[in-house]
Chains A and B, each alone.
Chain A
Amino acid sequence: MAVLNGAAHVADAVTSILGQGVPDLEVVVVDDGSTDNTVEVLSQFGDHLRVDSRPHRGHAAALNRGIEQARGDVFAFLDADDIWPAGSLGCRLARLDAPDQPEIVFGRTRQFVSPDTSQAVRRRLRFDPWPVSVAFLGAAVVRRSAMDAVGDLDESLTTGANIDWMGRARQLGCAQVPLDDVVLLRRLHDRNMGRQAATASRNGDLLRIVRNQRRRRAEAPAADA
Chain B
Amino acid sequence: LGESIREEDLLTTRVLVSSWAVHERLDDEVMVINLESGKYFALDGTASDCWARIAGGALASELVDLLVSSYEVDTQRATTDVEAFLSQLSEGGVVEMAPAVIEPGSPSGEPASGRRQYRAPTIEAFDDLEDLLLLDPVHEVDEQGWPIAGKGPA
Q: Footprint of B on A, CB under 8 Å?
A: 109, 111, 123-128, 132-136, 160, 163, 166-167, 170-171, 188, 192-194, 196, 199-204, 206-207, 209-211, 213-214, 217, 224
Contacts and interface: CB of A to CB of B under 8 A. Distances in A.
Contacts of A132: 131, 135
* Interface size range on B against A: 20 to 34
A201 B153 CA distance: 6
Contacts of B131: 132-135
Contact of A207 (B22, B139, B154): B22
Interface stretch (B23-31, B61-69, B108-116): B23-31
A194 B152 contact: no
Given A124-B142, A203-B153, A204-B153, 9 more contacts: A126-B141, A127-B138, A128-B135, A166-B129, A167-B132, A196-B148, A203-B152, A207-B23, A217-B126
A201 B136 CA distance: 13
B152 A170 contact: no
Contacts of A111: 138
B44 to A, nearest CB: 10
B8 interface: no
A224 B126 CA distance: 13
B153 to A, nearest CB: 3
B103 interface: no
Contacts of A207: 22-24, 31, 33, 152-153
- The majority secondary structure among interface residues of chain A is helix
B143 A163 contact: no
A194 B137 contact: yes
A211 B135 contact: no
A190 to B, nearest CB: 12
Contacts of A209: 129
B133 interface: yes
B138 A210 contact: no
B40 interface: yes
Contacts of A199: 137, 140, 148-150
A161 to B, nearest CB: 11
Nearest to B23: A207
B132 A194 contact: no
B137 A200 contact: no
Contact of A214 (B31, B137, B152, B154): B31
B43 to A, nearest CB: 11
Contacts of A214: 31, 42, 124, 126
A65 to B, nearest CB: 23
